[in-house]
Amino acid sequence: MKLFGTDGLRGKAGEFPLDPGSVRLLGRELGRRLDSAGDRRVVVGGDTRESTPEIVVNLCAGLSQADCRIAAAGVIPTPGIAELVLELGAAAGISVSASHNPYADNGIKIFGPDARKWPDEEEALLEEKLLASRARAQAPGGRPPQAPEPDPALAEAYLARLTRSVPGRLSGCEIVIDAGHGAAYRVGPEAFRRCGARVRIVADRPDGRNINDGCGALHPAAMARATAEAGATMGVAFDGDADRAIFADETGRILDGDDALWIIARDWKRKGRLPEGGVVGTVMSNYGLEAALAREGIAFRRAAVGDRHVSRAMEESGAAIGGETSGHILLAPLSPAGDGILTALVLASIVREQGVAFSKLATLEKVPQTLTNVRVARRVPLEEVRGIAQAVARAREQLAGHGRVFLRYSGTEPLLRILVEGPDGAQVAAIARALEETARRELL
């Protein structure tokens, strides 16, 4: 059983490994692995799910048992935790969030002293401890621990780091923000206001259960409509912990992470800020991005899905920019973490500086692509499922070398993701439907 996926530990809140005893054990074991000679402070915060406060309480109880000091950030985006680790010189940071998942899920993301996600081998050691304890797991006894009092100075420090990253003021810009009823509902709008923008906000009333519910980065249609109706400069929708951002131009056209990579890469190249390493995308990035960057003389490399894989490929290639189609963008000169608010601020500053409409910069021509998610009951290695292997072979034969077929299991949800890409949109859609039918038949 694997507990840690592409973005930390994730599961149903209250169930193993997110039951109180397991969470407290995780906090204690994490604390024991920190450098005993250094600053044993750990930054802890999370999103707006109803389960987040209890998980934070038990994490902090475990950390305290390992003699760690807690810097409680309260409700804050996941990348804010990474930034605060750097700001404070802390030993680690923990974000309690299930990102774009429904409210009943939750998760734990761990950052090291360099503000990067914990290495796979360190997560594996924690996973081993959790699995070993499962058989004898029980609710912690004694008085329940007290929730740490959030320090408002930490959100201020994160805001200061965000606004320092924006090269120019955003006066004259009007931004529509969909906070997804998540962690960015306060700090996201405030960051834009401090940079001089006018802000319209939607989905900023979290109630513990409405996070990502028909809003945010996974459901950006309402944000896009609001942007067009207001004639705003730009619209942005964040996911639950604001490491992802999806955009809309002034016409209401929705733009994803590939569009963001295209716009920022061209702008940085024009300014001489883009090193030879160029841009890192993922296996899910649209081929149109790869082709367009090649025409601009910008190197492009694909990594496996997940920001830790993108980050590793950026380090290896010397790329300054990397990210995923989902809107998780890494800007190495500005932050070690993928930060949706930072990405939005950078894009808005490019629009403001160039003095043109957002739509005039969003010129990426994409190849027809279909991405389908199929909920599965089991995760069998795909090469061992004869029906799927045969369907993929037929699909590739139909595309005759002029497209891509790519299947992978989600690292955070019980989903099989099916990507089909090719020059003919109707053919791409038909191939995707056939693969989806096969997957449902074989994996449900």
Concatenating the DSSP letter of every residue in 48-102 gives: S-TTHHHHHHHHHHHHHHTT-EEEEEEE--HHHHHHHHHHHT-SEEEEE--TTS-
- Please state the length of the chain: 444
Co-location of 147 and 70 in the same domain: yes
In sequence order, what are the residues at sequence separation of 6 or more whose Cβ sits closer than 8 angstroms to the Cβ of residue 412?
Answer: 5, 6, 7, 10, 98, 99, 100, 101, 107
User: End of a domain among 118, 152, 186?
Assistant: 152
**Chain segment 335-378, per-residue pLDDT in tens:** 999 999 999 999 999 999 999 999 999 999 999 999 999 999 88
Radius of gyration of the chain (CA): 22
Q: Considering the domain boundaries, does residue 344 fall inside one?
A: no
Cα→Cα distances 384→387, 433, 443, Å:
9, 21, 12
Q: Considering the domain boundaries, does residue 129 fall inside one?
A: yes
Paired residues of 274 in beta bridges? none
Mean pLDDT, rounded, for 167-196: 95
Residue type, 179: A
What is the pLDDT of the chain when averaged over all its residues? 94
Which range among 49-58, 138-147, 397-406 shows the weakest confidence by mean pLDDT?
A: 138-147
Q: Considering the domain boundaries, does residue 87 fall inside one?
A: yes
- The closest of 248, 247, 218, 23 to 140, measured between CA atoms, is 23
CB 414 within 8 A of CB 439: no
Q: Considering the domain boundaries, does residue 311 fall inside one?
A: yes
Q: Considering the domain boundaries, does residue 297 fall inside one?
A: yes
Co-location of 112 and 11 in the same domain: yes
pLDDT band at 140 (very low <50, low <70, confident <90, very high): low
Co-location of 22 and 85 in the same domain: yes
User: End of a domain among 101, 119, 152?
Assistant: 152
User: What percentage of the chain reaches a pLDDT higher than 70?
Assistant: 97
In sequence order, what are the residues at sequence separation of 6 or more whose Cβ sits closer than 8 angstroms to the Cβ of residue 382?
Answer: 388, 389, 392, 407
Co-location of 123 and 238 in the same domain: no
Q: How many CB atoms lie within 10 A of CB 136?
A: 7
pLDDT band at 39 (very low <50, low <70, confident <90, very high): confident
User: What percentage of the chain reaches a pLDDT higher than 90?
Assistant: 85
pLDDT band at 99 (very low <50, low <70, confident <90, very high): very high
Strand order through the sheet with 69-75: 4-5, 8-12, 105-111, 92-96, 41-46, 69-75
Mean pLDDT, rounded, for 26-54: 92
Q: What pLDDT, on the 0 to 100 scale, is given for residue 25?
A: 95
Place of tokens 């389908």: 372
Residue 250: strand, helix, or coil: coil
pLDDT band at 142 (very low <50, low <70, confident <90, very high): low
Co-location of 59 and 103 in the same domain: yes
Mean pLDDT, rounded, for 299-306: 94
**Helix 78-88 / helix 152-164 crossing angle, nearest 10 deg:** 90
Query: Which CATH number do you get for residue 414?
Result: 3.30.310.50
Is the confidence at residue 5, as pLDDT, over 90?
Answer: no
Is the confidence at residue 113, as pLDDT, over 80?
Answer: yes
- Cis upstream peptide for 17 (omega within 30°): yes
Is the confidence at residue 123, as pLDDT, over 60?
Answer: yes
Co-location of 286 and 426 in the same domain: no
Co-location of 142 and 26 in the same domain: yes
Q: What pLDDT, on the 0 to 100 scale, is given for residue 84?
A: 98
In sequence order, what are the residues at sequence separation of 6 or more whose Cβ sits closer than 8 angstroms to the Cβ of residue 81?
Answer: 43, 44, 45, 73, 93, 94, 95, 109, 111
Tell whether the torsion through CA atoms of 196, 202, 207 and 211 is positive or negative: negative
**Chain segment 406-431, per-residue pLDDT in tens:** 999 987 788 999 999 999 999 999 99
Is the confidence at residue 137, as pLDDT, over 70?
Answer: no
- The closest of 426, 437, 381 to 403, measured between CA atoms, is 426
Place of tokens 């608010």: 341
Q: What pLDDT, on the 0 to 100 scale, is given for residue 336?
A: 93
How far, in Å, CA of 243 to CA of 343, rounded? Answer: 9
Co-location of 261 and 354 in the same domain: yes
C-alpha angle 82-86-91 in degrees, rounded to nearest 5: 85
Query: Which CATH number do you get for residue 54?
Result: 3.40.120.10
Q: Considering the domain boundaries, does residue 401 fall inside one?
A: yes
User: End of a domain among 330, 361, 392?
Assistant: 361
Co-location of 205 and 325 in the same domain: no
Q: Considering the domain boundaries, does residue 343 fall inside one?
A: no
Active site residues: 99
Place of tokens 């403001």: 352
Co-location of 295 and 433 in the same domain: no
**Chain segment 236-294, per-residue pLDDT in tens:** 999 999 999 999 999 999 999 999 999 999 999 999 999 999 999 999 999 999 999 99
Mean pLDDT, rounded, for 21-37: 90
Q: What pLDDT, on the 0 to 100 scale, is given for residue 12?
A: 95
Co-location of 332 and 393 in the same domain: no
Mean pLDDT, rounded, for 102-106: 97
CB 63 within 8 A of CB 84: no
Q: Considering the domain boundaries, does residue 345 fall inside one?
A: no
Residue type, 285: S
CB 71 within 8 A of CB 205: no
Helix or strand holding residue 133 (H, E): helix 120-133
Q: What pLDDT, on the 0 to 100 scale, is given for residue 141?
A: 65
Give the chain's domain count: 4
Q: What pLDDT, on the 0 to 100 scale, is given for residue 300?
A: 97
Mean pLDDT, rounded, for 226-231: 97
Q: What pLDDT, on the 0 to 100 scale, is given for residue 444?
A: 80
Please give the torsion angle defined by the CA atoms of residues 354, 360, 364 and 369, in that order, rounded to the nearest 10 degrees: 140
How far, in Å, CA of 165 to CA of 143, rounded? Answer: 44
Q: 309 lies in which domain range?
A: 255-338+350-361
Co-location of 233 and 278 in the same domain: no
Q: What pLDDT, on the 0 to 100 scale, is given for residue 401?
A: 87
